[in-house]
Amino acid sequence: MAQNRRSKSILDSVGEEIIRIITPVSICMFMVVLMVCVLNTDSSDSASSSVPTIATIAYTETGSDSWWDKLKGALLNSLVFVAVITLATFLILLLFYFRCTRFLKFYMGFSAFIVLGFMGGEILLFMLEDFRIPIDCITFLVVLFNFTAVGVLAAFMSKMAIFVTQSYLVIIGVLVAYWFTLLPEWTTWMLLVALALYDLAAVLLPVGPLRLLVELAISRDEEIPALVFEARPVVVEDSVSNDNNNNTRFISTEDTELSAPLIDHRITLQLNRPEDALSSESWSLERIGLGSAGAIKLGLGDFIFYSVLVGRAAMYDLMTVYACYLAIMAGLGITLLLLALYEKALPALPVSIALGVLFYFLTRLVLEVFVVQCSLNLLMF
Amino acid sequence: MEASQSEANPNPNPNTNNNANRNSIMSSMPLWPTIDGPLGLTEEESLRYSRRFYKFGYALLPWLWAVNCFYFWPVLRHPSSFPGIRRYVISSAIGFTVFTALLCSWALTFAIGGEDLFGPVWEKLVMYNLADRLGLTASSSSLWAKEGFHYQEAFNVTILGPPVLVLLHQRFINMRSLIQSI
């Protein structure tokens, strides 16, 4: 009977859990597409000096190079970038291993500050210039300062309002993704493919830095110091546990019975709360969510690269945007399915990026011709 | 009483009203002062947090006051329940409205008044001109790039690069707890 009740609540909540992770990803992609459409209407591929040069260190693409040169240049760029990311991840792994979590947390807050302050400010300036909005510098600085300060607090503090934290994470993802869409075209696509392949290695291979990071965090029962988007856990109430609701703030001995199975599963848990994760709040939370299947956590890098793919597709046409959006959502669904099957941290990029890139090129080369011909002959719009 | 109880519970349930009658002492006030309900803070922590938000808001941060009001929204809705927190949340709300009113009036005066009101100073204060002159955006003629060394690119690589890389390093999906009750 209790088993039936619990399995019923799992089925109740799994759809909502998926929606709670798909909605912010979709919002992020939508905002990047919007910004790309609004801000890039005039310049096509002018390499401005705010192009993220760390990714074009090896080779700067110019419009007049041959096809083969562009390919080689893009490959070189993406290899350099993947190497730099590997270095950064290993550095973070090292710092985490030596328990410099305070420094890591501080650096996360610092990077949130940099992204929100400088990149956000720059993008706001783009918009002000494009639309000629007559804001004076004092108002602008106050607004930007407010926005950045609260964002840094949301990144630092683990106990900020969930909605505020989630919105700021999505905004950070949007800003970085927009910045990445300023890269030259071939480099972007090659970079996405290279990162998807690298992800497969980094998360699944035993020597992969991301896998080592996850295992270290699990073995120490700490959270990885990173900006991770955690969907709000679904709180499912059984009518049986009604009078428990009134006692939710008090930890009764019932706790230990219900949390005993949780202790076994803590090996596969990734506790998102900070080092005082065993505090009373999280236990009462686990108790309330009697049937909750837990919160899905998606790394911010995934948000960013999904949005980069869709943003780059938006630079061609909206038809590719629709195709790539559907492909990425399908990939995310497949990844969630695999996550439910394998119950360990999985790379979220490879399936979605593979499908996305495939659909982009198929749409651009095959579907577009078809649709244009249909429209021209008034067959289908 | 019952009405406030059913509002305060995260998932209103017809059974809770019956329970509320029985446990009227316990259920006479909403349990959670934050908008996140059981996922949020306890009452003692809420007091500390709201006080800290209130004090930090004086550093020209009306948005923090607004977030304070948003976060402790149940405190505003049920004024009798959390007297300590209520003081700070109400002050934050007042501070936010006052500051926003001042800022909006200044911004609107600036935007609508334009050059007629301010004279040549308007051109100097407008943000897009300022951005042009300081070379903050790439499309403008950057006075930095006039020298041989491209400060903008160096800035991009050294200051912007590492934080972005740090943000990118986590690229996997995971679940906090998984189907433990099956």
Say yes or no for a CB contact (<8 Å) between B126 and A164: no
Q: Is residue A103 a part of any domain in this protein?
A: yes
> In total, how many domains does chain A have?
1
Question: pLDDT (tens digit, 9 = 90+) per residue, B53-86?
Answer: 899 889 899 999 999 999 888 888 877 777 888 8
B135 vs A96: which has the higher pLDDT: A96
Check if A199 is active-site: yes
Q: Closest Cα of chain B to A339: distance in Å?
A: 7
pLDDT at B17: 44
Give the Cα separation of A130 and A285 in Å (integer). Answer: 48
Say yes or no for a CB contact (<8 Å) between A301 and B171: yes
Q: Is residue A168 a part of any domain in this protein?
A: yes
Q: Is residue A58 a part of any domain in this protein?
A: no
Residue A239 has pLDDT above 50, yes or no: no
Collect all residues of chain A within an 8 Å Cβ-Cβ radius of residue B11: 235, 237
Q: Is residue A252 a part of any domain in this protein?
A: no
- Judge whether B123 is closer than 8 Å to chain A, CB to CB: no
Question: pLDDT (tens digit, 9 = 90+) per residue, A275-334?
Answer: 343 444 444 444 333 334 467 888 899 999 999 999 999 999 899 999 999 999 999 999
- Judge whether A24 is closer than 8 Å to chain B, CB to CB: no
Question: pLDDT (tens digit, 9 = 90+) per residue, A315-331?
Answer: 998 999 999 999 999 99
* Short-list A54, A39, A178, A181, CA closest to A119: A178
Q: Is residue A5 a part of any domain in this protein?
A: no
Phi–psi pair at A61, nearest 5 degrees: -75, 130
Q: A127: domain range? A: 10-40+64-232+298-377
Give the Cα separation of B54 and B58 in Å (integer). Answer: 7
End-to-end distance of chain B based on CA atoms, in angstroms?
38
B7 vs A132: which has the higher pLDDT: A132
* Short-list A318, A311, A304, A309, CA closest to A364: A318
Say yes or no for a CB contact (<8 Å) between B107 and A295: no
Confidence of residue B152 (pLDDT cuts 50, 70, 90): low
Is residue A253 within 8 Å of residue B143, measured between CB atoms? Answer: no
Q: Where are the domains of chain B?
A: 42-134
Collect all residues of chain A within an 8 Å Cβ-Cβ radius of residue B173: 296-299, 302, 335-336, 339, 345-348
Question: pLDDT (tens digit, 9 = 90+) per residue, A340-381?
Answer: 888 788 888 999 999 999 999 999 999 989 988 998 998 877
Name the residue among A49, A128, A235 with its Cβ closest to that of B138.
Answer: A49
**Nearest chain B residue (CA) to A137:** B127
